[in-house]
């Protein structure tokens, strides 16, 4: 029996286990409290009643700052001391507060460390303040909020979920909203989404019909309605929700989709809109698609960090050897620590100072380069990265292209019209078409016979004039473009504007459409004489060259989709009652739909080679009976519950048979200036270019060809759409069998492949000469950048110009923003900002090269400067019975690292191995940089051997040649050391600059002048003797002459590649 107060042995483990479970749960609870990551939920939002929200939602403020007032100092210090180099100096400096370990004066350690930290904190503070100012500007924008008492002005950051916000034309939408009302009569408006998805096509948005029908704006408060919205998501192309009005009988329910939403950071392009806020701040689509900026660290900095660790190991080994040779006498651990401090100059603190100042100098040189005006360096810590890039990820719209569409060619099969022959088309249109006249003059009631004649028309050769008439009319009717006339009156907040005072003249008309191609086509028809004057949901009006207005009733519209690759419209001519089905689309989709012909495929190929975007236009005449039959089947298909999309497509396809081919059009998306030579330059430099765009597959492929991203002779493998693992596996296998071909893949397929076969896809894609990813979301772009970094270990650069490129720019090792039509969001988030894509060539070939080469030389020379003095200290200590006594003290050590050698060493930032013209002419030279040969363990080892040789010669020479007094050893060795360093800088320089010579002379002058004041360390009487001069000269000669001979021999026997080009 156990005593009463003693627990049963079986219960002990159980009790202990319970305590452990409680412990773990408490820890988890604490972690959750600390992280406080809110779970995203669906919500019910009452119109105009933010106070009815059940949950607390985030503030609608934009925050791009890295720190706040409390985390700034700790954050900056952490970023500094996470580097081994800086942490080592902090420990060494702190050790000088211990009397037994004190080697010299405190300022010799603390002054350089304090300087480094002060510069870093100042730089970060300035950057942080600029970010704060940019955020404040966006958050302070004023908007009109609708309340029961009328309109009030609110700041963007004060907008809440449930608020009714009025957004004027050309104003930024401040938060994610559901579109309730618009001033446009049609109940729809256009918005520009270039800052969200990179597409400059305007998107058509439709207001909720229930609220659009209300008589007045104030009636929004007289109804009881709410919106049910799904939880916040990343996907910018989808939305599910419902609108419910409770106070009607029965209650009205409307389903909401993506076309009823207005996402934050998009711009209203037409009319005034009123929306109810559903997501704010961190929950908006644009913020969820933006990644947090990371602190970028250059590859060169990481390599130097590795080398300092190697130096630290050498330092510890040397100190242990010294203590061992000393025989571990007395408190040996104190001697060990003193030796560690004595040899601490092996790792020079001036390394960080020199490199940071060098980076600032490179940034200044980039911004002052007149060949790339307007270039701004926003991240001054990574200029060397520009010289190490292997992958360049670029956006398409606005980066490679200007996004300006121009109509270039019309081909009718037998005749082709280009830019110089458009006046012939105008001539044809001015003369009324004979066929059209006869039809117009005929009896409308008996309009069947001419239609029958028309169906057999292919047998009869039509005149060129009538074919031109038909082609231009088809282009003017088959589109989704709306002409818009600017109102002369001031725009108010009401939804009911009088349109009587609008100016309907040609000069006041602008076209709005979901695609710039469409606008280009309609603008062209206007230029040749057939003008689109008005359009609403049910009719289109055209004006002929003679001024006659033709009205067409729109019976059906079939919008363009990426699956069908075509769009169609069925119209009825009001004057003749003829019904015509017009269709236009990509040649791959249309070639099987149109009647047999022998020219379409060949001409499409010819236009594509010219970089033109082609569209095939066709038509089919329908009788009234044919149309009525189609309409009944079409309506039935649209009402079906199961497989609705398939059934609708099948009904439409029944019309798409034996259509009459009218023409082929060619539209050019103008490329940015010098895009082709720049891409060729980058390719020759060994840089692999990936184009990541939110645009359609056909457009992306066309631009890839026209910009010569994909060369003309190269095959293109278009990755078929895949939805599951099996399909992805088959498609990857098909792609594996292809060799040396460019890859084109869509964002959806990419997502599936990354989910199941990330490694295989990365491996195959990295072997391609070029990759095009279309329909990419902002997060996918960033993910591709990270994928390349992870799988290849190579440096990536991202180039973009829109808000949708910010995530990619921040994820890449080096981000370049282009200031373009899509705003400045990308250029502000980037590390480097340029005004044109062509400037990237010079930025990488010239500035990237020189920054990397200079920093590598500078870093290694500063290390050499520390190693040589540590070698002298080791020789000195070993000669004098391994005493842990410093060779040079106080000002000599400070002077050596500063005024005596600083200017010549820092002047290495002006050195260049190749002239800028040569670097641009021979981009192949860039390939060598990516191998990292300028700074490697091999080059570092060479410098270590040079330091050991020179340090040994200087110290042993001084000890051999001194006669009576020890103070002479100091004078001879220190003077020879300074002269050796100045001569070594001269040896390292490849191209002399006048400032380098000034720095050499100035430093030598400073040293000679300071000898008069250094009587504490030197015997001034001895310094002025001839003996001193010859001894110093002899030692310096022995330490430097062999190296000059070796350099001369290396240049003769194994010259670097660039010298062959410059000779």
For 437-455, the pLDDT digits (tens) are: 434 333 333 333 333 334 4
Q: What is the pLDDT of residues 502-524, one digit of tens each?
A: 556 777 788 877 777 888 999 99
* Cβ atoms < 10 Å from Cβ of 20: 10
Among the residue ranges 317-321, 694-698, 870-874, 876-880, the one predicted with the least confidence is 694-698
Please report which confidence band the pLDDT of residue 724 belongs to, taking 50, 70 and 90 as the band edges. very high
Q: What is the pLDDT of residues 213-269, one digit of tens each?
A: 888 888 888 889 999 999 998 888 778 888 999 888 888 888 888 889 999 989 998
What is the rounded average pLDDT of the residues 432-436? 56
Q: What is the pLDDT of residues 448-488, one digit of tens each?
A: 333 333 443 444 567 889 999 999 999 999 998 888 877 65
Instruction: Print burial letters for 269-297: b (CB count within 10 Å at least 16), e (below 16).
Output: bbbbbbbbbbbbbbbbbbbbbbbebeebb
Say how far apart CA 434 and CA 851 lie, in whole Å: 71
* Beta bridge partner(s), residue 820: 823
Give the pLDDT score at 20: 46
Give the pLDDT score at 604: 86
Listed in sequence order, the residues at least 6 apart from 656 whose beta carbon sits closer than 8 Å to its beta carbon are: 568, 583, 593
What is the rounded average pLDDT of the residues 144-148? 91
Contact between residue 298 and residue 381 where contact means Cβ atoms under 8 Å apart? yes
Alpha helices of 880-936 — where are they, by DSSP H? Answer: 891-897, 902-906, 916-921, 926-930
What is the rounded average pLDDT of the residues 58-77? 86
What is the rounded average pLDDT of the residues 951-959? 91
DSSP string, 772-824: EEES--HHHHHHHHHHHHHHH--EEEEEE-SGGGHHHHHHSSEEEEE-BTTBS
Torsion sign (Cα): 877, 880, 886, 889? negative
Q: Cα 352 to the chain's mean position, in Å?
A: 29
Contact between residue 147 and residue 166 where contact means Cβ atoms under 8 Å apart? no
1046 vs 608 pLDDT, higher one: 1046
Say how far apart CA 145 and CA 48 lie, in whole Å: 9
User: Which residue's structure tokens are 């910009």?
Assistant: 707
40 vs 1043 pLDDT, higher one: 1043
DSSP string, 989-1002: -SS--HHHHHHHHH
Please report which confidence band the pLDDT of residue 16 belongs to, taking 50, 70 and 90 as the band edges. very low
Instruction: Print burial letters for 571-600: b (CB count within 10 Å at least 16), e (below 16).
Output: bbbeeeebbbbbbbbbbebbeebbeeeeeb
Listed in sequence order, the residues at least 6 apart from 258 whose beta carbon sits closer than 8 Å to its beta carbon are: 237, 238, 239
Nearest to 952 by CA among 879, 872, 1031: 872
Please report which confidence band the pLDDT of residue 562 belongs to, taking 50, 70 and 90 as the band edges. low
Q: Is 90 helix (H, G, I), strand (E, B) or coil?
A: helix
Q: What is the pLDDT of residues 836-859, one digit of tens each?
A: 999 999 999 999 999 999 999 999
pLDDT at 772 > cutoff 80 = yes
Give the pLDDT score at 13: 46
3-state secondary structure 1003-1024: HHHHHHHHHHHCCCCCCHHHHC
Q: Is 138 helix (H, G, I), strand (E, B) or coil?
A: helix
Q: Is 562 helix (H, G, I), strand (E, B) or coil?
A: coil
Listed in sequence order, the residues at least 6 apart from 138 whose beta carbon sits closer than 8 Å to its beta carbon are: 62, 156
pLDDT at 862 > cutoff 50 = yes
Among the residue ranges 7-16, 51-60, 93-102, the one predicted with the least confidence is 7-16
Among the residue ranges 171-175, 287-291, 813-817, 900-904, the one predicted with the least confidence is 287-291
Among the residue ranges 442-456, 477-491, 727-741, 787-801, the one predicted with the least confidence is 442-456
Average pLDDT, the chain: 84
pLDDT at 615 > cutoff 70 = yes
What is the rounded average pLDDT of the residues 385-407? 88
Listed in sequence order, the residues at least 6 apart from 828 whose beta carbon sits closer than 8 Å to its beta carbon are: 134, 378, 817
Please report which confidence band the pLDDT of residue 107 belongs to, taking 50, 70 and 90 as the band edges. confident
Give the pLDDT score at 451: 38
Contact between residue 296 and residue 359 where contact means Cβ atoms under 8 Å apart? no
Nearest to 575 by CA among 716, 420, 443, 384: 443
395 is catalytic: yes
Among the residue ranges 35-39, 494-498, 882-886, 1046-1050, the one predicted with the least confidence is 494-498
Say how far apart CA 174 and CA 395 lie, in whole Å: 25
Q: Which two tokens stand for residue 786?
A: 């990270």
- Cis peptide leading into 226, omega within 30 of 0? no
**Cα–Cα–Cα angle for 80, 81, 86, nearest 5°?**
90
Q: What is the pLDDT of residues 873-930, one digit of tens each?
A: 899 888 887 777 788 877 787 788 778 888 999 999 999 888 999 999 999 999 989 8
Listed in sequence order, the residues at least 6 apart from 695 whose beta carbon sits closer than 8 Å to its beta carbon are: 198, 199, 396, 397, 774, 775
Distances (CA, A) of 15 to 7, 10, 22, 240, 811: 10, 9, 11, 50, 49
Percent of the chain residues topping a pLDDT of 70: 89
Q: Which two tokens stand for residue 972?
A: 């001879």
Report CA dihedral (230, 232, 236, 241) to the nearest 10 degrees. 10
Q: What is the pLDDT of residues 585-601, one digit of tens each?
A: 988 889 889 998 889 98
Nearest to 792 by CA among 778, 813, 808, 772: 813
Please report which confidence band the pLDDT of residue 806 belongs to, taking 50, 70 and 90 as the band edges. confident
What is the rounded average pLDDT of the residues 987-1006? 92
Give the pLDDT score at 684: 93
pLDDT at 739 > cutoff 90 = no
pLDDT at 5 > cutoff 60 = no
**Given 395, 805, 831, 913, the catalytic residue:** 395
pTM summary value: 0.73
Listed in sequence order, the residues at least 6 apart from 330 whose beta carbon sits closer than 8 Å to its beta carbon are: none
Say how far apart CA 221 and CA 162 lie, in whole Å: 12
Q: Which two tokens stand for residue 47?
A: 């119109």
Percent of the chain residues topping a pLDDT of 90: 41
Exposed/middle/buried for 50, CB within 10 Å: 0-12, 13-18, 19+? middle
Which helix (H) or strand (E) covers residue 310, if one does?
helix 299-326
3-state secondary structure 691-740: EECCCCHHHHHHHHHHCCCCCCCCEEEECCCCCCHHHHHHHHHHHHCCCC
Alpha helices of 831-915 — where are they, by DSSP H? Answer: 839-842, 849-879, 891-897, 902-906
């Amino acid at each position: 029996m156990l005593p009463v107060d003693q627990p049963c042995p079986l219960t002990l483990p159980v009790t202990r286990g319970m305590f452990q479970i409680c412990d773990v749960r408490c820890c988890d609870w604490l972690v959750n409290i600390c992280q406080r990551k809110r779970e995203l939920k669906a919500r019910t939002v009452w119109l105009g009643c933010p106070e009815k929200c059940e949950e607390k939602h985030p503030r609608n403020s934009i925050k791009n700052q890295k720190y706040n007032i409390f985390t700034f100092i700790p954050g900056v210090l952490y970023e500094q001391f996470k580097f081994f180099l800086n942490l080592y100096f902090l420990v060494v400096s702190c050790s000088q507060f211990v009397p037994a370990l004190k080697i010299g004066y405190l300022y010799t350690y603390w002054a350089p460390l304090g300087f480094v930290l002060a510069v870093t904190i100042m730089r970060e503070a300035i950057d942080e303040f600029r970010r704060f100012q940019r955020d404040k500007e966006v958050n302070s924008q004023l908007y009109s909020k609708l309340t029961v008492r009328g309109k009030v002005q609110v700041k963007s950051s004060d907008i809440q979920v449930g608020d009714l916000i009025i957004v004027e034309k050309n104003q930024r939408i401040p938060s994610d909203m559901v579109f309730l009302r618009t001033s446009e009569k049609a109940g729809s408006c256009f918005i520009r989404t270039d800052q969200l998805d990179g597409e400059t096509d305007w998107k058509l948005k439709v207001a909720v019909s229930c609220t659009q029908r209300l008589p007045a704006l104030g009636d929004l408060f007289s109804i009881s309605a709410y919106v049910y919205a799904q939880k916040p998501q990343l996907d910018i192309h989808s939305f599910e929700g419902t609108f419910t009005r409770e106070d009607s009988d029965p209650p009205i329910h409307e389903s909401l989709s993506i076309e009823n939403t207005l996402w934050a950071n998009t711009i209203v392009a037409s009319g005034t809109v009123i929306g109810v806020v559903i997501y704010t701040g961190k929950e908006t689509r644009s913020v969820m698609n933006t990644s947090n900026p990371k602190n970028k660290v250059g590859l060169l900095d990481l390599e130097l960090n590795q080398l300092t660790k190697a130096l630290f190991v050498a330092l510890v080994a040397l100190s242990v050897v010294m203590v061992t040779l000393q025989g571990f006498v007395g408190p040996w651990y104190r001697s060990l620590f003193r030796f560690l401090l004595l040899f601490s100059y092996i790792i020079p603190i001036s390394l960080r100072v020199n490199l940071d100042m060098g980076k600032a100098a490179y940034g200044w040189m980039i911004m002052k380069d007149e060949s790339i005006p307007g270039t701004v360096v926003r991240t001054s810590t990574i200029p060397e990265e520009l010289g190490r890039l292997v992958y360049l990820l670029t956006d398409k719209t606005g980066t490679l292209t200007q996004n300006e569409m121009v109509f270039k060619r019309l081909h009718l099969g037998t005749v082709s019209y280009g830019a110089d022959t458009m006046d012939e088309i105008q001539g044809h249109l001015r003369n009324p078409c004979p066929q059209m006249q006869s039809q117009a003059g005929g009896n409308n009631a008996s309009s069947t016979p001419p239609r029958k004649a028309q169906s057999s028309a292919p047998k009869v050769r039509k005149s060129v004039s009538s074919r031109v008439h038909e082609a231009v009319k088809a282009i003017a009717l088959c589109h989704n473009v709306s002409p818009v006339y600017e109102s002369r009156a001031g725009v108010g907040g009401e939804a009911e504007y009088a349109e009587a005072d609008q100016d309907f003249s040609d000069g006041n008309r602008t076209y709005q459409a979901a695609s710039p191609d469409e606008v280009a086509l309609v603008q062209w028809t206007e230029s040749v004489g057939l003008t689109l004057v008005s359009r609403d949901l049910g009719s289109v009006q055209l004006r002929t060259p003679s001024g006659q207005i033709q009205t067409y009733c729109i019976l059906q519209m079939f919008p363009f989709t990426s699956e069908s690759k075509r769009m169609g419209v069925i119209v009825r001519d009001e004057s003749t009652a003829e019904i015509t089905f017009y269709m236009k689309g990509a040649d791959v989709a249309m070639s099987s739909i149109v009647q047999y012909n022998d020219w379409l495929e060949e001409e499409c190929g010819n236009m594509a080679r010219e970089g033109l975007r082609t569209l095939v236009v066709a038509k089919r005449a329908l009788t009234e009976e044919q149309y009525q039959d189609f309409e009944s089947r079409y309506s039935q298909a649209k009402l079906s519950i199961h497989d609705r999309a398939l059934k609708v497509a099948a009904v439409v396809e029944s019309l798409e048979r034996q259509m009459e081919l009218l023409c082929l059009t060619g539209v050019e998306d103008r490329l940015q200036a010098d895009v082709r030579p720049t891409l060729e330059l980058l390719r020759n430099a060994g840089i692999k270019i990936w184009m990541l765009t939110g645009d359609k597959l056909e457009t992306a492929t066309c631009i890839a060809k026209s910009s010569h991203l994909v060369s003309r002779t190269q095959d293109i493998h278009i990755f078929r759409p895949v939805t599951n693992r099996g399909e992805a596996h088959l498609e990857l296998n098909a792609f594996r069998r292809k060799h040396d071909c460019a890859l084109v893949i869509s964002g959806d397929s990419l997502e599936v492949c990354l989910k199941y076969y990330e490694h295989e896809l990365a491996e195959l894609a990295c072997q391609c000469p070029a990759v095009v990813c279309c329909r990419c979301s902002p997060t996918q772009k960033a993910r591709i950048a990270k994928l390349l970094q992870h799988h290849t270990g190579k440096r990536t650069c991202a180039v973009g110009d829109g808000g949708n490129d910010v995530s990619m720019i921040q994820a890449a090792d080096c981000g370049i923003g282009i200031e373009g039509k899509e705003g400045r969001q990308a250029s502000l988030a980037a590390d480097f900002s340029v005004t044109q894509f062509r400037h990237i060539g010079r930025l990488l070939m010239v500035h990237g090269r020189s920054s990397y080469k200079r920093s590598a030389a500078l870093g290694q020379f500063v290390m050499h400067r520390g190693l040589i003095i540590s070698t002298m200290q080791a020789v000195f200590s070993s000669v004098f019975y391994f005493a842990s006594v410093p060779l040079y003290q106080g000002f000599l050590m400070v002077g050596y690292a500063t005024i005596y050698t600083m200017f010549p060493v820092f002047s290495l930032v002006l050195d260049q191995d190749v002239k800028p013209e040569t670097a641009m002419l021979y981009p192949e030279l860039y390939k060598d940089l990516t191998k990292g040969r300028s700074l490697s363990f091999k080059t570092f080892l060479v410098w270590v051997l040079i330091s050991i040789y020179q340090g040994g010669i200087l110290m042993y020479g001084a000890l051999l040649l001194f006669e009576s007094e020890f103070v002479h050893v100091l004078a001879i060795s220190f003077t020879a050391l300074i002269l050796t360093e100045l001569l070594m800088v001269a040896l390292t320089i490849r191209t002399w600059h006048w400032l380098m010579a000034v720095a050499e002379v100035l430093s030598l002058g400073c040293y000679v002048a300071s000898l008069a004041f250094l009587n504490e360390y030197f015997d001034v009487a001895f310094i002025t003797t001839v003996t001193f001069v010859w001894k110093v000269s002899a030692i310096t000669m022995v330490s430097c002459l062999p190296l000059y001979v070796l350099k001369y021999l290396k240049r003769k026997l194994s010259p670097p590649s660039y010298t062959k080009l410059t000779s």
